[in-house]
Amino acid sequence: MKLFFFLREALRALRRNAAPSLAAIATVLITTLVLGVFIPVVRAATAKTNEVRNKIELEVFINDDASRAEVTELGNMIRDIRHVESTEFVSKAQALRILKRRLGDKSSITEDLPGNPLPRSYRIKLDDPQNADVVKSSLAPVGPSGEARPISPAIQEIKNREDDTEKILSATSTIKILLASLAGLLVLASVLLVANTIRLSIFARRREVEVMRLVGATNWFIRWPFVIEGLLVGFLGGAAAVGLLWIVKVTVVDEWSDRFALIAAPDTIRFSLLVIVLLGTATAVSAIGSGITLRRFLRV
């Protein structure tokens, strides 16, 4: 069976060239390890920035003297505005609870308040944070006098934390671009490093390839063992990296996850998926790399 012959040839090459084989496996291991750490971090960071972006919302504070009917009507009006995804009514009591939660252990100072000074409000979620200004001007269109007039007398104030919004939007898109280019560079560096390692190990055996050609071996007959060798190197290196990642995950990440918001972000890549991606990439890159690199030595 030819497949077994090729497999035996590949295994023999690995055994007989132990030092370069180990170097290749180590290279794959290290690059996979770096990728394995970087991918979840990027995923978590992206998830976090998205979360921050989605937090941008408008708040419409309501006059304390507005009637229940006026408040309900205002709610319906807001829901009819374009780009509004959902609204949430916050009562005075709820507002106070939120404030207390934010103050944490200093929440007792609210006990000293004479009553509840916090206004009722509507929290508006937008379909896209970019539309905040449009929705705001729909809530308070600019009148002929050049002054913005709220659409309902129940509105006391509209807040979109304008400055913050701008800052968050530009900061998050910068972070996204930065992470994407970092990830791209890292993948490129990994592929180049693996390709170089493969080239060195094949270069060391170019005489062998020459002899094979002279006794009449076809190019694929020469190539298959190298491809299988690359496959094995990629798989072994990838598997070792995944094993290390798993140990780190169990001993460090899982233990500490509740203490680090970044790691605990709900949107980090699933570990099983990460394993599949890393193993698949490591194996494919080194197998295909071997096959392609060999081409140079197969020219007659």
Partner 1 sequence: MAAIDETLDPRGALLQGATRSPAVELRDVTVVYPGGNVGLDGASATIGRGEFAFLVGQTGCGKSTFIKLLLREMDPSRGKVLIAGRDIVELPRKKIPKLRRNIGVVFQDYKLLPNRTIYDNVAYTLKVIGASRSEIKSKVPEILRLVGLSTKLNSYPDELSGGEQQRVSLARAFVNHPPLLLADEPTGNLDPETSIGIMQLLYRMNRTGTTVIVATHDNEMVDRMRRRVIELHEGRVVRDEASGMYAG
Residue whose CB is less far from partner 1, 13 or 202: 13
C-alpha to C-alpha distance for 131 and 127, rounded to whole angstroms: 8
Q: Which is nearer to partner 1, 168 or 217 (CB)?
A: 217
Q: Which is nearer to partner 1, 1 or 69 (CB)?
A: 1
100: contact with partner 1 by CB under 8 A: no
- Using the contact rule CB under 8 A, the part of the chain among 64-72, 88-96, 148-156, 205-213 near partner 1 is 205-213
User: φ, ψ for residue 104 (rounded to 5)?
Assistant: 65, -130
**Which positions ≥6 away from 270 have C-beta within 8 Å?**
none
Can you tell me the distance from the alpha carbon of 262 to that of 171, in angstroms, rounded to the nearest whole number? 17
Which of residues 109 and 300 has its CB atom nearest to partner 1 in the complex? 300
Of 69 and 214, the one with the shorter C-beta distance to partner 1 is: 214
CB of 6 to partner 1, least distance (A): 10
Could you give the 3-state DSSP secondary structure of residue 141?
Answer: coil
Q: How many CB atoms lie within 10 A of CB 60?
A: 26
DSSP 8-class letter at 128: S
Cα distance between residue 95 and residue 86, in whole Å: 18
Is 130 a binding residue for partner 1 by CB under 8 A? The answer is no
Q: Draw the binding track, 4-23, toward partner 1 (x: CB under 8 A; -: no contact).
A: -x------xx--xx------
Member of 44, 58, 62, 212 binding partner 1 (CB under 8 A): 212
Q: Which is nearer to partner 1, 5 or 203 (CB)?
A: 5
Amino acid sitting at position 187? V
What residue spans of 56-157 are helical by DSSP H? 68-80, 92-103, 132-139
x/- contact string, 42-61, with partner 1 (CB under 8 A)? --------------------
Q: Counting contacts by CB under 8 A, is residue 143 touching partner 1?
A: no
Take residue 192 and report the two structure tokens written for it: 């180049």
Q: Which x/- pattern over 220-239 shows residues binding partner 1 (rule: CB under 8 A)?
A: -x------------------
Which positions ≥6 away from 251 have C-beta within 8 Å?
Answer: none
109 contributes a contact to partner 1 by CB under 8 A: no
| Cα 286 from Cα 198, distance rounded (Å) | 8
Tell me how far apart the alpha carbons of residues 290 and 233 are, in angstroms, rounded to a whole number: 10
First-to-last alpha carbon distance for the chain, in angstroms, is 28
Exactly one of 208, 254, 255, 267 binds partner 1 (CB under 8 A); that residue is: 208
How many residues lie near partner 1 (CB under 8 A)? 19
Among 157, 210, 254, 267, binds partner 1 (CB under 8 A): 210
| Residue where the block lists tokens 């207390």 | 100
Of the two residues 83 and 205, which places its CB atom closer to partner 1 in the complex? 205
**Rule CB under 8 A: which residues touch partner 1?**
5, 12-13, 16-17, 207-208, 210-219, 221, 300
